[in-house]
């Protein structure tokens, strides 16, 4: 049983596909090993693949005008990652996507995905639901940024994604939440103090 089993289960959990279709879907992916600190996407280049994380951790980020970087997405086992706009519209990326630890991924090429969506109505539906879920997820993040303080956002985050806290460095979480590492330190400090 190979590493693609994880992907197969990820798909099956979301949508029941006939055996043949599921096999065709999974067969379109290639398994790859990525070393810590290795980039899988860089600005200027077109994101030609969509990446599913079998095991590992990744971070996507943009570098702002002032040179500081801003985390767009954090992803661990069983998540997808890419420069979404670059992949969807097949235009040059604006983000970096980098491995935060040695990882194993499954990647599908843009053209292969298009072919599968055209050939199988169900796979089109799978990606439609995936995109809807992503849009809803993004919207929750927008609402959080409008309605919650930095401290609340941090507490919400660790409550919602406890797995991230273990795998992902503090600076990545800070820049995902739009705060500084110093401020996260302050929050953690305060929490520890109130617990004694």
Partner DNA sequence: AAAAACGGTTAACCTTGATTAACTTTTATG
Partner DNA sequence: CATAAAAGTTAATCAAGGTTAACCGTTTTT
What is the four-CA torsion angle of 43, 38, 173, 77, rounded to 10 degrees?
110
Of residues 44 and 166, the one with the C-beta less far from its own copies: 44
DSSP state of 28: T
Cα atoms in the 13 Å half-sphere on the side-chain side of 133: 9
7, 26 Cβ separation under 8 angstroms:
yes
174, 164 Cβ separation under 8 angstroms:
no
Per CB under 7 A, which region of 12-20, 80-88, 122-130, 183-191 contacts DNA?
Answer: 183-191
Residue 183: which of DNA, its own copies, none does it interact with, CB under 5 to 8 A by kind? DNA
36, 99 Cβ separation under 8 angstroms:
yes
User: Across the strands, what pairs with 114?
Assistant: none
Residue 45: which of its own copies, DNA, none does it interact with, CB under 5 to 8 A by kind? none
| Member of 36, 45, 89, 190 binding its own copies (CB under 8 A) | 89
Residues 105-124 that bind its own copies (CB under 8 A): 117, 121, 124
**Nearest-approach distance from CB 115 to DNA, in angstroms:** 38
Residue 190: which of its own copies, DNA, none does it interact with, CB under 5 to 8 A by kind? none
181 binding DNA? (CB under 7 A):
yes
Give the contact letters, 121-140, x = binds to its own copies (CB under 8 A), - = no: x--xx-xx--xx-xxx-xxx
38 binding DNA? (CB under 7 A):
no
189 binding DNA? (CB under 7 A):
yes
Q: Give the distance, in angstroms, between the CA of residue 69 and the centroid of all CA atoms in the same chain.
A: 17
Q: How many CB atoms lie within 10 A of CB 116?
A: 20
CA distance 73 to 141: 11
Residues 90-149 that bind DNA (CB under 7 A): 149
| Member of 2, 16, 125, 185 binding DNA (CB under 7 A) | 185
43 binding its own copies? (CB under 8 A):
no
Sequence-separated (6 or more) residues with CB below 8 Å from residue 62: 69, 70, 72, 94, 95, 96
Q: Binding residues for DNA, per CB under 7 A?
A: 36-37, 66, 68, 149-151, 169-171, 178-186, 188-189
């Amino acid at each position: 049983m190979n590493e693609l089993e994880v992907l197969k289960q990820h798909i099956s959990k979301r949508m029941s596909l006939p055996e043949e279709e599921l096999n065709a879907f999974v067969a379109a992916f290639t398994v790859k090993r990525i070393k810590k600190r290795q980039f899988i996407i860089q600005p200027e280049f077109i994101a030609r693949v969509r990446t599913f994380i079998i095991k590992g951790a990744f971070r996507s980020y943009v570098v702002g005008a002032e040179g500081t970087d801003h985390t767009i997405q954090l992803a661990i086992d069983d998540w997808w990652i890419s420069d979404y706009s670059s992949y969807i519209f097949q235009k040059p990326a604006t983000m970096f996507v980098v491995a935060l630890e040695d990882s194993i991924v499954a990647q599908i090429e843009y053209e292969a995905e298009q072919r599968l969506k055209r050939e199988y109505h169900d796979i089109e539906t799978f990606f439609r639901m995936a995109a809807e879920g992503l849009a809803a997820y993004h919207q929750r993040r927008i609402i959080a940024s409008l309605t919650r303080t930095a401290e609340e956002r941090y507490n919400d985050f660790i409550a919602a994604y406890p797995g991230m806290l273990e795998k992902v460095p503090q600076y990545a979480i800070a820049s995902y939440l739009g705060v500084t590492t110093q401020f996260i330190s302050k929050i953690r400090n305060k929490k520890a103090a109130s617990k004694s």
